[in-house]
Chain A
């Protein structure tokens, strides 16, 4: 190729044009196209994020609806279990309740006292506490005791008898003296 020979002045002008071109490209990419693309990428990322949230939320809502249907009966059952224990400190209502229960079973002079409380090991029962009670039945007969314990185990599903001691009373051998160590699960309030 036969390029025209350039004089000194023309070479300067070519170089100036080259610098101008490079400067134009620098300004264009750094101050115009770069920020614009960055802004678009940020917006796209935000869109993807929100879309993901919307997609997930659809699943969450559906899952909750299914869970709600499944838990319909369980909710009632759970409410019933919670309702077994009234409001207030258990030491205030449990001993009178037990005394009343055994009185209904024709066993009088029953004493119930709190031995201690412990937490459940299970993480799911972190909102519940174990109350250990000692229940003294100073005088009862074996048949009444059996019926009373059967009724107690039916009526108090959250009560668990850990120890049972039955002894003859010294004065009246037809009667027994009974000590029951029981644990109840009571919700923390």
Chain B
């Protein structure tokens, strides 16, 4: 076998060493990674820009509709407040105890031989019930039974429109004086009747109600 001498060995070795230089390879790798990262950054920057553009558009839209929305919210709050106030006011109006029908019922019960001298009525604080004292005199051959007739009639009349009606004598006593009815002297009895009842359905007032109209 012939002897083969490689006289360029050193030059080839140096060239290989240069090619395998870790710093050079590192710089190349770094540059490659940098390029990839730059591309990724660019993609993210593009997405961010798109988001910002969308944000600006939406904020522009919101600026346009915001005054109308604020006005609508304010109006809704006003209307809600008005509706609630009106509901409570309507309750206040509907739950009133109407005295006119009550007075009318009492007047229906008073016979010609009876006379009322005082009526004192009070509506309870929660508008649930009414207490009244009715004072008067009755004249008849049996004045106590005339007073009892009045009490019975009152109980019957009030029972038609109110609940838990109680009509009781607080006092019933014959008085010494007499009165003339159809020319005949009749003995008299003085009575005080206590009336209590709770409101059932509120009777309508005597006269028809005029519709409420705003003053111009």
Which A residues are closer than 8 A to B by beta carbons?
A: 4, 6, 10-11, 13-14, 16-18, 20-21, 24, 28, 32-33, 36-37, 39-40, 43-44, 46-47, 50-51, 53-54, 57, 60-61, 63-64, 67-68, 70-71, 74-81, 83-84, 120, 122, 124-125, 127-128, 142-143, 145-147, 149-151, 153-155, 157-158, 160-168, 185
Neighbouring B residues of A149 by C-beta, 8 Å: 99-100, 103
> Which one of B79-87, B148-156, B180-188, B192-200 is at the A interface?
B79-87
Q: On chain B, which size bracket covers the interface?
A: 35 or more
Q: Is the CB of A163 within 8 A of B117?
A: no
A-B contact count (CB 8 A): 206
> Which among B33, B92, B99, B121 is the interface contact of A24 at CB below 8 angstroms?
B33
B65 touches A (CB below 8 Å): yes
Kindly state the separation between the CA atoms of A99 and B51 in the bound complex, as whole angstroms.
74
Least Cβ–Cβ distance between B56 and chain A, in angstroms: 9
Please name all residues of chain A whose beta carbon is closer than 8 Å to the beta carbon of B214 when the two chains form the complex: 76, 79-80, 83
Please, how many angstroms separate the alpha-carbon atoms of A127 and B210 in the complex? 26
Name the distance in Å between B62's Cβ and chain A's nearest Cβ: 5
* Contact pick for B118, options A10, A162, A168, CB 8 Å: A168
Q: B172 on the interface (CB 8 Å rule)? A: no
Say if the beta carbon of B97 comes within 8 Å of chain A: yes
* Chain A residue with Cβ nearest B134: A166
Using Cβ atoms and an 8 Å threshold, which residues of chain B touch A47?
A: 51, 54-55, 58
Known A36-B48, A43-B51, A154-B209; contact A4-B100, beta-carbon cutoff 8 A: no
